[in-house]
C-alpha cells in the first residue's frame, strides 16, 4: 500500500472550494471540478513517484489482480473520482461496450485525433457509473413519465411549448417513442424557434409551490440562469429530478440520460472518458449520436441501497462488473479492507484513519488517498469515513 496523488480537472462547471477544502489546500479561485484517482491515460494518478498506469502496465497481475486481468485485460478497469459541481453539467449519456467499440473504430477510421474537440469516442470502453453524494446534491436522471411531463407543461400555459410536447399525451403510442420524438425535437430547436425557451422560463418564474410541478419549474429556472436560450433547458424538463442526501447513491447505466445540477460526491465508473452531449454545454454537441444511444424508457429505478457487508462497511451493489464501491466508517473496531485479490483505491473523506498490512502501516487524513495492490491484505482503523473502489470482479 502506498500514498496516491490524484489529478485535478479544472472544468468550467466545477466548484472553486469543495475539492481544495477536501485536500486541505487554499482555493485558487479557479474551478476544480473532478479529482481523478485512477490510471486513465489522459490523467493518471501517481503512486509514490510513479504513474499508476505505468505500474499497471508493468505488473498487471500483482497490481490489479489476476481475475480482473482475465476479465478486462492488463489495465485498471475502473476510475474513481471526487466530483464537485457548482453549476449544471451537460445533458449527457454514455455508450454501451458495443456502441463504444463501434464509435471508437469509426472515428479512428475517419482520422480524428484523440484530443479533437469534435471527437465523441475517446476510447472503446463503456462508462456505467455510480455517484455517492458527500453533500446535498441535485441531479436529473432518466425520463419522467410522459403524461406527467405533459401535465406540467399544460399547467405552465405556454401554447407554443404545449404544441411541441403534444405527442407526450398520445397514450396509444408507446412511451419511449413519444419521449424520443419530443426530446429530439426540443434539442433541435433553432433560430426564432428558441423564443419558446424564454417564454417557458418566464412562466416558470411565476410558479411558487412545492411538489413535482414546483420542481419542474425550478429546473427551468435553474438551467436557464446558466444557459439562457439553450434548447436543452426545455429538453431537460422531460427528465426526473433527484435530490441526494449524503451517502445516497445513484447508478447510471449505459444509455441513461443524466445531468448533475449541483453538489458532489465520490464517483466510480468504468475506466472511460466517453461522453455524448446534447446541450447545456459549450463543448461539442452531437444530437443524432446522443439519440442513438439513449434509453427512452421512462421511470427511475431508485437509489442504490447499500448493503452492510460487515459492521462499519457498506457495499453499493450494481450490475457493472468493471467496478465495485464500498463506504467504510471505522470507529471502535478494525474493519478488513474489502476487495481482496484486486487493486483498490482508497480515499478518506472525513476524519483520519490508518491502513495496516503485513509489516506496513499508512496513516491517511481527510482528502488523502492510497493504492492497495491486489494481494495486500489490510485492516482499517481510526475514526472517519473512507471510500474504497476496486474492480467488480471482487464481488463475484
- By annotation, the residues acting in catalysis are 277
* Helix, strand, coil percentages, rounded to 5, for the chain: 30, 30, 40
User: What's the CA gap between 78 and 99, in Å, rounded?
Assistant: 18
Can you read off the three cell numbers belonging to residue 201? 422560463
Q: Shortest CA distance to 349 belongs to which of 84, 12, 53, 43?
A: 84
Give the separation between CA 243 and CA 230, rounded to whole angstroms: 23
Please state, as a whole number, how many other Cβ atoms lie within 10 Å of the Cβ of residue 333: 11
Residue 368's nearest CA partner among 352, 384, 389, 390 is: 352
Please count the CA atoms within 13 angstroms of the CA of 368 that sit on its side-chain side: 15
Question: What is the secondary structure of 100-130 as a DSSP string?
Answer: HHHHHHHHHHTT--TT-TT---SSS----EE
| Rg of the chain taking only CA atoms, in angstroms | 22
260 φ/ψ angles, rounded to the nearest 5 degrees? -75, 135
Give the cell for residue 346: 482508497
| 233-245: b (≥16 Cβ within 10 Å) or e | bbbbbbbbbbebe
Nearest to 272 by CA among 112, 124, 91: 124
**Contact predicate 337/215, CB 8 Å:** no
Residue pair 234/161 in contact (Cβ under 8 Å)? The answer is yes
Amino acid at each position: 500500500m502506498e500514498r496516491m496523488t490524484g489529478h485535478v480537472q479544472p472544468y468550467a462547471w466545477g466548484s472553486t472550494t469543495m475539492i481544495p477544502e477536501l485536500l486541505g489546500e487554499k482555493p485558487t479561485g479557479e474551478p476544480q471540478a473532478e479529482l481523478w484517482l485512477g490510471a486513465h491515460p489522459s490523467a493518471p494518478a501517481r503512486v509514490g513517484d510513479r504513474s499508476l498506469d505505468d505500474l499497471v502496465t508493468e505488473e498487471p497481475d500483482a497490481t490489479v489482480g489476476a481475475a480482473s486481468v482475465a476479465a478486462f485485460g492488463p489495465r485498471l478497469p475502473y476510475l474513481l473520482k471526487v466530483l464537485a459541481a457548482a453549476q449544471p453539467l451537460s445533458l449527457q449519456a454514455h455508450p454501451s461496450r458495443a456502441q463504444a467499440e463501434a464509435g471508437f473504430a469509426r472515428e479512428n477510421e475517419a482520422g480524428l485525433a484523440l484530443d479533437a474537440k469534435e471527437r465523441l469516442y475517446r476510447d472503446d470502453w463503456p462508462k456505467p457509473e455510480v455517484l455517492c453524494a458527500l453533500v446535498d446534491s441535485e441531479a436529473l436522471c432518466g425520463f419522467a413519465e410522459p403524461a406527467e411531463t405533459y401535465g406540467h407543461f399544460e399547467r405552465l400555459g405556454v401554447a407554443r411549448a404545449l404544441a411541441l410536447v403534444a405527442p407526450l399525451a398520445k397514450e396509444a403510442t408507446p412511451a419511449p417513442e413519444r419521449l424520443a420524438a419530443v426530446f429530439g425535437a426540443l434539442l433541435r430547436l433553432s433560430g426564432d424557434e428558441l423564443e419558446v425557451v424564454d417564454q417557458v422560463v418566464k412562466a416558470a418564474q411565476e410558479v411558487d409551490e412545492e411538489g413535482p410541478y414546483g420542481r419542474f419549474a425550478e429546473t427551468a429556472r435553474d438551467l436557464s440562469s446558466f444557459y439562457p436560450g439553450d434548447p436543452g433547458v426545455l429538453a431537460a424538463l422531460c427528465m426526473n429530478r433527484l435530490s441526494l442526501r449524503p451517502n445516497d447513491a445513484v447508478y447510471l447505466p449505459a444509455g441513461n440520460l443524466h445531468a448533475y445540477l449541483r453538489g458532489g460526491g465520490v464517483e466510480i465508473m468504468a475506466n472511460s472518458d466517453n461522453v455524448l452531449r446534447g446541450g447545456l454545454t459549450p463543448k461539442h454537441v452531437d444530437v443524432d449520436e446522443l439519440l442513438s444511444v439513449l434509453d427512452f424508457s421512462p421511470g427511475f429505478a431508485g437509489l442504490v441501497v447499500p448493503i452492510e457487508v460487515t459492521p462499519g462497511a457498506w457495499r453499493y451493489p450494481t450490475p457493472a462488473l468493471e467496478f465495485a464501491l464500498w463506504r467504510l466508517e471505522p470507529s471502535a473496531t478494525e474493519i478488513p479492507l474489502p476487495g481482496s485479490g484486486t487493486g483498490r483505491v482508497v480515499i478518506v473523506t472525513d476524519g483520519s484513519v490508518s491502513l495496516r498490512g503485513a509489516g506496513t502501516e499508512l496513516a491517511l487524513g481527510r482528502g488523502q488517498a492510497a493504492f492497495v495492490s491486489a494481494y495486500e491484505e489490510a485492516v482499517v482503523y481510526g475514526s472517519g469515513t473512507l471510500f474504497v473502489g476496486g474492480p467488480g470482479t471482487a464481488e463475484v
